[in-house]
Copies of this chain bind each other. A is one copy, B any other.
């Protein structure tokens, strides 16, 4: 029998989850829950239903795992604790500073309902966190570096769009090559915000807008751009659509450390991702952890977990013996 999956929230991430389910023969998408009018939402999976979010709880015996695809700012802090009482759930909550609080809320709900919840799944938090943790465990004396990009930052793109005279915009975060080279060379540099990443903006200005003023507003915007070297390009709406409609992202996690009686030997651990589609990759990680949530729940686990708490074998459809024979 397949693992029966539900999706709550059908934006880029929800669609990514739908595609990921299709790539995993042991899973089946049963339902998509939306806040929009279900009649207005067209999904790709012919065999799944589109339902109003208000009906989600009626499905509690029909789904093995519910994937929560809302945003971290306002959706997930409410949705994950709410649905963790009735379903095994996975979310991609990514507000790093609020993870402890979110964990506590979800843990209480999942324990109350006897369900398994896995939060903060994706690539950062997610695979990047795992790689930071493994590398720290292996090389206790060393230094961590995380670089993001080259990729689209939704938050920074939105910030540019809010400037008067900007019709549309796309912002790319880019690691500084020389900083990366210094890390890889084992120099253990201390890097400022400016030294690690640059920002590149592609902006469509409204007709007659003052481009010099827009550029100045972007480059001096506190928190978002002021601490970075930022390049601004003004392009046409057609160019934006043609060249910048994808949602690529990626990045690197490095740990540079030393071993030996006198710390005489150096080592570099590097993990990197180059992603054509940020939401589809995030969804693919989520679906692997949905398998884990289902299996843990079958074993009687209850409560909230993160990627740190899940033995890797739970993610793979193969048995332990198959994994040992083929991948170890």
Contact = CB atoms under 8 A, between A and B. Distances in A.
The quantity of this chain's copies bound in the complex is 2
Contact of A280 (B259, B271, B274, B284): B259
Contacts of A103: 324
Interface in A273-302: 273-277, 280-281, 283-285, 288, 291
Contacts of A276: 265-267
Contacts of A309: 311-313, 320
Contact of A270 (B100, B266, B271, B324): B271
Contact of A308 (B133, B277, B323): B323
Contact of A265 (B99, B280, B306): B280
Interface string A1-40: 0000000000000001011101110000000000000000
Given A23-B141, A99-B324, A288-B138, A133 B259 contact: no
A155 B59 CA distance: 59
Interface stretch (A62-70, A80-88, A123-131, A173-181): A123-131
A133 B310 CA distance: 13
A272 B184 CA distance: 11
A132 interface: yes
A73 interface: no
A189 interface: no
Contacts of A265: 275-277, 280
A242 B313 CA distance: 44
Given A99-B324, A306-B328, A23 B280 contact: no
A127 B99 CA distance: 27
Given A24-B140, A96-B328, A268-B273, A312 B127 contact: no
Contacts of A283: 259
Contacts of A272: 268-272
A316 B133 contact: yes
A159 B268 CA distance: 29
Contact of A312 (B184, B291, B307): B307
A315 interface: yes
A189 to B, nearest CB: 17
A228 to B, nearest CB: 25
Given A99-B328, A267-B275, 14 more contacts: A19-B259, A23-B140, A127-B138, A133-B313, A259-B284, A266-B276, A267-B274, A267-B284, A268-B274, A269-B271, A269-B273, A270-B274, A306-B324, A308-B324
